[in-house]
Amino acid sequence: MTPPKTSESGNNHLARNESRLRVRYAETDQMGVVYHSNHFVWFEVGRVELLRQLGFSYRDMEQIDDRFIAVVDARCRYRAPARYDDEIIVRTHLKNVRESVIHFGYELVRVGDGLLLAEGETTHIVTNAKMEIAALPDKYMKVFLSAIGRDVI
Amino acid sequence: MTPPKTSESGNNHLARNESRLRVRYAETDQMGVVYHSNHFVWFEVGRVELLRQLGFSYRDMEQIDDRFIAVVDARCRYRAPARYDDEIIVRTHLKNVRESVIHFGYELVRVGDGLLLAEGETTHIVTNAKMEIAALPDKYMKVFLSAIGRDVI
Amino acid sequence: MTPPKTSESGNNHLARNESRLRVRYAETDQMGVVYHSNHFVWFEVGRVELLRQLGFSYRDMEQIDDRFIAVVDARCRYRAPARYDDEIIVRTHLKNVRESVIHFGYELVRVGDGLLLAEGETTHIVTNAKMEIAALPDKYMKVFLSAIGRDVI
Amino acid sequence: MTPPKTSESGNNHLARNESRLRVRYAETDQMGVVYHSNHFVWFEVGRVELLRQLGFSYRDMEQIDDRFIAVVDARCRYRAPARYDDEIIVRTHLKNVRESVIHFGYELVRVGDGLLLAEGETTHIVTNAKMEIAALPDKYMKVFLSAIGRDVI
């Protein structure tokens, strides 16, 4: 087995997205900070924007191509509390892609002082609407591989 | 037009349900009380349990009978704050039903002292999966009408 | 009792804010549309941005001025379903203000075709951190009254 | 350093709790299954009930003892989709406790067929209301250690 070819001249910058959001009051809890399940919702905001940056709409992926990316593993390490009205940068990174598995990494950073609030990863399998594992269509695969600097799976 | 016949010997008690839930930490906000949008989620919990009490599963209503009850109007008046770990009684009341419109009323009451926390109403239209207005199937309509002490729409 | 003086040369445009948001996957439900309690979260997004436009931070209002605006009544009429990935304009309007009561109105409009998705209102009372009714400090009251074209409460 | 003494005659059964909940419509997404951030909310439901089983109210822990258990790491592995109206058992397990760190494990199981829906872990640090790390008070520590079959930290 040979290692995957890497292409330094690839579109590696495309594999990273920065999106902004502002903490909503509904996202806080009585400890006065953001409740910890919301970080996973923010990861999803970043994931969708990374797809958009790669030229894809996740809405179309579901409706037109009958492909869903279902979460099979999600993790978050909380470094500092996020607070109401904070502006947050969601840094999303396409870490790896295989035929039916996609792996994303995330950092949540506070605008202003750049404080790292949390880091996380999610792993997804590609399915059809019946939740059966399915291959990622070629048009996505090519762009995803290029973005992470690879030519082949 | 004659007024609808009412039947004192109807199943009126079936038109009222009491369900219990406990306030989750995720439902609080930094004011130290339950964030106000959660009350509508609790109303839905009561609505589903009232349907179950009437012999229906809302899951089956969607999956087997292709009927959805979409919210067209929702209102809540907040009387006292609900707090973390409070046990809450959701009192749901089938107020009225017409061919494609259903009207529910709600009270949220704190277990223990019976304090009224909130009151509300929701109005729903019956649709199919394409969100087109559709008639409520007979088997539901008969039971709903009986529950509110009426024989006909 | 004389009617409140109105000032045509007031800052009436300040009483209206338009904010944008994009529907999150987490906000949808299995009917394929946005779950109806999320509209109230979006109303809050608009409310906070309207305050910011008037020169105030709701965060500071709580932390520095010990004033909270607690919801006592909330209503939404749903005109058309909001869907995943839709861009939504939240139009917020300061409808009225009295010593300890503030009234906001809202419209949710879909970007692109301008379709009205929902309309609503919320009524708030001003409290301190102990949830006791409290007067809105002068610096807020002056700006709020000016925004709605009035000189006095 | 000697290994912690273990006590086979401890209260080990107390370290495991089973709580039930029913999937709410608000917790589903347009894929027709429960949105993945909700599993962390359910973990919290189990955590609180495990504390209650050990004789503690997390509400009192915050209000009377000024101790909070803030999440620093949370992970979930999704085995099968949870669906609307499913009854779910949340199995919570106190895995370990040190001076200011508590570690819980979870399983989500579908009532009826016992299908494992998800597994997870959360790690928490004990803080005061100012979010400064603080020791877990003795009354908690004794019970927690006993529950996991240990005499000393």
Name residue B59's amino acid. R
Instruction: Give domain status of residue A129, yes or no.
Output: yes
A95 Cα distance to chain centroid: 9
- Are the Cβ atoms of A26 and C48 closer than 8 angstroms? no
Exposure of D108 by Cβ count < 10 A (0-12 exposed, 13-18 middle, 19+ buried)? buried
**Residue-by-residue pLDDT tens, chain B, 153 positions:** 444 444 444 566 789 999 999 999 999 999 999 999 999 999 999 999 999 999 999 999 999 999 999 999 999 999 999 999 999 999 999 999 998 999 999 999 999 899 999 999 999 999 999 999 999 999 999 999 999 998 777
Residues of chain B neighbouring C67 (CB-CB closer than 8 A): none
Instruction: Give domain status of residue A4, yes or no.
Output: no
Contact status, residue A141 vs residue A97, Cβ threshold 8 Å: yes
- Are the Cβ atoms of B37 and C33 closer than 8 angstroms? no
For position A8, what pLDDT does the model report?
44
Residues of chain A neighbouring B33 (CB-CB closer than 8 A): 30
- Are the Cβ atoms of A29 and B33 closer than 8 angstroms? no
Pairing of strands B87-98, A116-127: unpaired
pTM tops 0.90, yes or no: yes
Q: Give the chain D residue whose CA is nearest to the CA of A36.
A: D71
Give Cα separations from B74 to A82, C23, C44, D127 (angstroms): 31, 20, 16, 39
Question: Which CATH number does the domain housing residue C102 bear?
Answer: 3.10.129.10
Which token pair is C56?
């105030």
Q: How far is C140 from chain B (nearest CA, A)?
A: 20
DSSP string, B25-66: GGGB-TTSSB-TTHHHHHHHHHHHHHHHHTT--HHHHHHTT-
For position A12, what pLDDT does the model report?
67
- Are the Cβ atoms of D29 and C26 closer than 8 angstroms? yes
B65 Cα distance to chain centroid: 19
Name residue D104's amino acid. F
The residue ranking higher by pLDDT, C152 or C115, is C115
The helix or strand, by DSSP H or E, that contains position C44, with its residue range, turns out to be helix C38-53
Q: How far is A4 from chain D (nearest CA, A)?
A: 28
Exposure of C139 by Cβ count < 10 A (0-12 exposed, 13-18 middle, 19+ buried)? exposed
Given a cut of 60, whether residue C149 has pLDDT beyond it is yes
- Assign C11 a pLDDT band (cuts: 50, 70, 90): low
For position B12, what pLDDT does the model report?
67
- Assign D120 a pLDDT band (cuts: 50, 70, 90): very high
Distance of alpha carbon C128 from alpha carbon A151, whole angstroms:
61
Residues of chain B neighbouring C48 (CB-CB closer than 8 A): none
For position B138, what pLDDT does the model report?
94
Give Cα separations from A118 to A40, A42, D81 (angstroms): 10, 11, 26
Residues 6+ apart with CB under 8 A from B9: none
Residues of chain D neighbouring B45 (CB-CB closer than 8 A): 24
Task: List, by residue number, the catalytic residues of A.
Answer: 29
Residues 6+ apart with CB under 8 A from B137: B65, B67
Given a cut of 70, whether residue A2 has pLDDT beyond it is no
Average pLDDT, stretch C85-92?
Answer: 98
- The string of pLDDT tens digits covering residues D11-35 is 667 899 999 999 999 999 999 999 9
Given a cut of 80, whether residue A5 has pLDDT beyond it is no
For position A11, what pLDDT does the model report?
62
Instruction: Give domain status of residue B152, yes or no.
Output: no
Distance of alpha carbon C114 from alpha carbon C93, whole angstroms:
18
- The string of pLDDT tens digits covering residues D67-77 is 999 999 999 99
Interface test with C, best of A19, A22, A33, A68 (most C CBs within 10 A): A22
For position D12, what pLDDT does the model report?
67
- Are the Cβ atoms of C36 and B76 closer than 8 angstroms? no
Which token pair is B72?
């067209």
Given a cut of 70, whether residue D4 has pLDDT beyond it is no
Instruction: Give domain status of residue D2, yes or no.
Output: no
- Assign A153 a pLDDT band (cuts: 50, 70, 90): confident
Given a cut of 80, whether residue A115 has pLDDT beyond it is yes
Q: Which of A45, A59, A85 is nearest residue C84 as measured by Cβ atoms?
A: A59
Distance of alpha carbon B4 from alpha carbon B148, whole angstroms:
11
Distance of alpha carbon D18 from alpha carbon B112, whole angstroms:
24
Residues 6+ apart with CB under 8 A from B53: B14, B17
Given a cut of 60, whether residue C40 has pLDDT beyond it is yes
Look up tokens 């004192």; give the residue: B8
Three-state DSSP class for B76? strand
| D29 is an active site residue | yes
- The string of pLDDT tens digits covering residues C96-117 is 999 899 999 999 999 989 999 9
The helix or strand, by DSSP H or E, that contains position A125, with its residue range, turns out to be strand A116-127
Domain extent, residue B125, equals 12-147
Contact status, residue B146 vs residue B97, Cβ threshold 8 Å: no
Contact status, residue B4 vs residue B150, Cβ threshold 8 Å: yes
Q: Of C90, C106, C108, C86, give the one whose Cα is nearest residue C32.
A: C86
DSSP string, A60-86: HHHHTT--EEEEEEEEEEE-S---TT-
For position B5, what pLDDT does the model report?
47
- Are the Cβ atoms of D74 and A72 closer than 8 angstroms? no
- Assign D80 a pLDDT band (cuts: 50, 70, 90): very high
Which token pair is D21?
């909940």
Contact status, residue D84 vs residue B60, Cβ threshold 8 Å: no
- Assign D153 a pLDDT band (cuts: 50, 70, 90): confident
Average pLDDT, stretch A65-71?
Answer: 96
Average pLDDT, stretch D40-64?
Answer: 96
Three-state DSSP class for B139? helix
Instruction: Give domain status of residue C122, yes or no.
Output: yes
Cross-strand bridge partners of residue A68: A127
Residues of chain C neighbouring A129 (CB-CB closer than 8 A): none
For position B150, what pLDDT does the model report?
86
Instruction: Give domain status of residue C2, yes or no.
Output: no
Which token pair is B12?
């009126």
Distance of alpha carbon A89 from alpha carbon B27, whole angstroms:
25
Distance of alpha carbon B68 from alpha carbon B65, whole angstroms:
9
Give Cα separations from B52 to A13, B57, B60, B64, B148 (angstroms): 53, 5, 11, 15, 16
Given a cut of 50, whether residue C58 has pLDDT beyond it is yes
Other CB atoms within 10 A of residue A142 CB: 12
Average pLDDT, stretch D103-132?
Answer: 96
Given a cut of 50, whether residue D6 has pLDDT beyond it is no
Residues of chain A neighbouring B40 (CB-CB closer than 8 A): none
Instruction: Give domain status of residue D153, yes or no.
Output: no
Q: Of A153, A119, A134, give the one whose Cα is nearest residue A46.
A: A119
Instruction: Give domain status of residue A1, yes or no.
Output: no
Cross-strand bridge partners of residue D51: none
Given a cut of 70, whether residue A6 has pLDDT beyond it is no
- Are the Cβ atoms of A73 and D74 closer than 8 angstroms? no
For position B47, what pLDDT does the model report?
97
Three-state DSSP class for D55? coil
Following CA atoms D122, D123, D125, D126 in sequence, which dihedral angle do they give, to the nearest 10 degrees?
60
C90 Cα distance to chain centroid: 9
Q: Give the chain C residue whose CA is nearest to the CA of A27.
A: C41
Three-state DSSP class for B149? coil
Which token pair is B116?
């009224």
Given a cut of 50, whether residue C74 has pLDDT beyond it is yes
**ipTM of the complex in this document:** 0.91
Given a cut of 70, whether residue D1 has pLDDT beyond it is no
Q: What are phi and psi of C96, to 5 degrees?
A: -165, 155
DSSP string, C82-146: --TT-EEEEEEEEEEEETTEEEEEEEEEETTT--EEEEEEEEEEEE-TT--B-PPPHHHHHHHHH
Interface test with B, best of D39, D69, D85 (most B CBs within 10 A): D85
Residue B6 DSSP code: B
Task: Please count the structural domains in chain A.
Answer: 1
Q: How far is C37 from chain D (nearest CA, A)?
A: 8
Q: What are phi and psi of A41, to 5 degrees?
A: -65, -40
- Are the Cβ atoms of B84 and D24 closer than 8 angstroms? no
Exposure of D62 by Cβ count < 10 A (0-12 exposed, 13-18 middle, 19+ buried)? buried
